[in-house]
Amino acid sequence: MGKLNYDPVIQHFSHPHPLELCCNHQQLNLHAVSCSGCKLKLASAGPIYTCRCCNFFLHISCSQMPQHIAQFPKQL
C-alpha cells in the first residue's frame, strides 16, 4: 500500500497563517483538541493540518471542503 500524498503546507481560506501537515500526534496533545472546521475531536485522527502560531487544527478532509456550498434550484 502506497503513501497518501498531501501538500506539506497549505494556505487555507479559513485561517490567516500557513497550515503544516502533522503526522506525529505524539508531538501534540490532541486529546482535548477539536478540529477548527467540523469541531470533532482529533485524538485518534490520521494526519492533520496545524498552525504553528496558534491553536488551529484541521482534519485533511475538512481542509478540502469547498469555501461555498452550492445551492440547488428549488424543486417545482
What pTM does this model have?
0.72
How many angstroms separate the CA atoms of 52 and 42, rounded?
Answer: 16
Residues of the chain with pLDDT under 70: 1-4, 24-31, 43-45, 76
Compute how many other C-beta atoms are within 10 angstroms of the C-beta atom of residue 34: 14
Q: Are 32 and 40 in contact (CB under 8 A)?
A: no
Asked if residue 71 is part of any domain, the answer here is no
Asked if residue 73 is part of any domain, the answer here is no
DSSP assignment of 25-41 equals GGGS--TT-B-TTT--B
Using alpha carbons, select from 10, 5, 28, 3 the residue that is nearest to residue 65: 10
SS3 state at 57: strand
Give the per-residue pLDDT at 1: 47
The domain in which residue 22 lies consists of 7-64
Give the total number of structural domains in the chain.
1
Give the per-residue pLDDT at 11: 93
Give the per-residue pLDDT at 3: 56
